[in-house]
Each structure stands twice: as C-alpha cells, then as structure tokens.
Structure 1
Amino acid sequence: MKRIRVLLVDDQKLFAESLRTVLETRARALEVVGVAANGREAVERVAETRPDIVLMDVRMPELNGVESTRAIKERFPATKVLMLTTFDDDEYVVEALHLGAAGYLLKDVPPAELIAAIEAVSEGGVLIAPQVASKLVEKLRQPPESKPPVLSEEKPAPHWLQQLSNREKEILQLIAAGLDNKEIAKRLYIGEQTVKNYVSIIYCKLDTHDRVQAARLALEAGLG
C-alpha cells in the first residue's frame, strides 16, 4: 500500500520534531518527508518533496500559513493542506478554507485523531475541529451589513431542499448548528455510523463534500 507523504510546517522546532516522532512511530501508513520552519520554506519543500499532505501552522515568520497555502495550491493544486494550529480565529479559518485548505485542526488534537484526519484528507475529506466549526457557523449566522432595501422577488427554495427526507433535513439542521456526528447521534438516539450514512447522502444531494459548505447552504435555505 502506498504511504501518505507528509510535510510538517511549524516555526516551533520542538513541536515539529515531536510531531514527526509521533507520526513516524504510530502511523505506518504515513511517511514524513520533511520539516519546514516557515511558510516560504514550506513552498520550497513542497517543490522538492512533492508531499500528499502538508500539515501547516498559521502564524509563522516570513510567510504565514495562510499565504503559504495560497502559494502551494496555486503551484501544486494536487497537494492537500491541513491547517494545524493553536489559534481558532475564524478569520484565519475562512481565509484558509477559501484558499483551498482541506481542514483546520487545533494542536491539542489527540494523535490518533490527527492520524485519522490526515488519512481522511488524503482520501478527499474535509476536517474541521468541532470548536472551530461552531465559531464558523456563528459567523455564517451573523446578519450581513445593512444595505438599502431592494425590491425583488422572493428567492425560491433550492432544488435540493425538496430532495431531502425529513430525517435528512433534521440532520442537516444539526450540522448547521455546529454539532459533529457523535453529538448528532446522541441527540437523535441513533448510531454514529447511521449518522455518517445520512451525511454522505446529504452531501451527495447538496453536491458538496464540505461540512462547512453544507452548513452554509442549510442556513441560506432557512434550516438554521
């Protein structure tokens, strides 16, 4: 089986080396191909090593993680970037995801969950820490800045809304509220795997693979 090639980017050398040790000793499916100390060096290392996944810190000297993500995705669109930081600032989250980051996790994530996240992202998934997702949903819920009233016809309901069953709408509402699959399962008294199955169906009907995008569409459709 092909191993997932991972590049670590963090200006804290001790953290980066500790993370490298954790990944190399606990995850046989992963191969750490290098470590970069700032965003500019990260772009150079990606060009040299061609990793599958970049674990990217946000606040770094010379070039921060968000701008580094922009440069990497422009030059190497197939390389996936997973933000790993101590900061849950929603401005960084929105900008990083907008630039193509495949996830946003906090550094206190347990090693097993981080490894699972890397594997999920390598398969096309999008991972966002629950506490970060909650802040992001709150940001999406904030009313836009007031503008002069414009006379227009009422916006019709999106076509996908009619395709959802009542249970799917219920789960989508909980996604929009910032709940993860485990919390949804507990709220609805169903199995977590059942929730995952419903989420996959919802993503298919909404034509998205992104939990944040699904939450945004739900809020726009009035399901929040």
Structure 2
Amino acid sequence: MPDGAATPPDPSALIAAVAARYAGASRFTRGYVGSKLRRDPSTAAILALAGRAGGLGHVADLGCGRGQLALALLLSGAASRVTGLDYEGAKVAEARAAGAGLAADFARADLTAAEVPDCDTVLMVDVLYQLPEAAQAPLLACIAGAARRRAVLRLFDPERGWRSRFGMAMEHAGRAIRGDGAAVRPMRVAEVAAPLEAAGFRCTVSPCWAGTPLPNVLLVAERGA
C-alpha cells in the first residue's frame, strides 16, 4: 500500500511482517517487538490516523527505541520514509538491522540537544515526560519548526485523576527498581499544545489508554489549510 492510500492494513499480518525483520535480534527483542505492537493502543491509533490522513509522509520518530512502530508505518505504506532518533545505542543498532533495505535511517541522539530533522510528521510516543523538565519546552519548539504537516505525540496527562496517580506510582516504582533517580514531571497537555498552536497547528487530544489504567492521551497537531 503506497503512502497516500487509505486501505487499513491487516494488523496481524503487519505485526508478523515487522517481527520477522527482528529474526536476528535477541530473544527478548523478538518477543518484545510483537507484543508491543499488539498490546500498545498507540499502534492502532497511529495507523488509523495515517489512514485518515492519506499517509504521514516522511516521519521523524523521536525516541524510536527498537524502531518497531516506525517500521510498521513503512511496511503498511503509512510512511514514505522514516528517520528514527534514540539515546540508547543498542536499541538503535537493532532498529538499523531490522530496517535494512527500507527507506529507514536510525541514529543515536540526545533529544535534549539534537536537531529535529525536517519532515512531514514528527512522531513521539511516551518520551516527552521522561526528559528533564528544562528540556521539554525547547524540544516542543524544535518540533513546531521541523514538522511540515503534523506532530503526533502520546503524552502522560497529569490531570486524569486516578489514572494519573496510578501512572505516577508506576513510574516511581520503575525508577526505584532500575535505580534511576530522574524526576518525573509531565507537562500539562495544555502547556504542550500551546507552542504548537502558536506555530499554526490545530491540536486535538483523545484518550490513548484502551484497556489500561494509564493516563496516556494522543495529541495530534496539524497545520492549518
């Protein structure tokens, strides 16, 4: 399905095709890739968005991890090209190996300092709130300048009542287990939207937590006609 087509891909076949590209990766990664694409509601939400939009064009995936979502967009025809950036070199190496032969470029980058590449769509899933508080607003400004058509951000919404309290408890527990002392300071969704709207984007926000107790929402910022 070329970029621009609206026919939705078969989810099971697509996930199998993506997972097959990680055949040479570790056992953990092979299991993780398929599970993440199947279970994370952002997969279906972003693929559906791409179908409605007629494709996302060149996608810059910030915090791409192992690259499975970027490759799903490519293999489904929802993206014409992907550029993935992530801080963890081992994950970037796995993404590169899996993306061999496709219109995919993955590189190690520190999102608190890296330049966001010019693209049609900036994609950032579960990344912004994990960055230092002082780095979040500058990155949003870079995204607003780099995205020609849209930005798609899955955010931790700190104003979702019990969901936010549960999500924060999970984040603190995870950091305690990993020995990660980084603070968790998610921006209010309105604060995330403000610089994008000031740059000429129209923002819509919808729940993206299907079947989970988490406070995740999908913010889609699109350029005005």
Normalising to structure 2: TM-score of the pair?
0.31
Higher relative contact order (CA 8 A, sep 6+): 2
Larger radius of gyration: 1
Q: Considering fraction of residues, name the structure with more strand.
A: 2
Normalising to structure 1: TM-score of the pair?
0.31
Q: Considering fraction of residues, name the structure with more helix.
A: 1
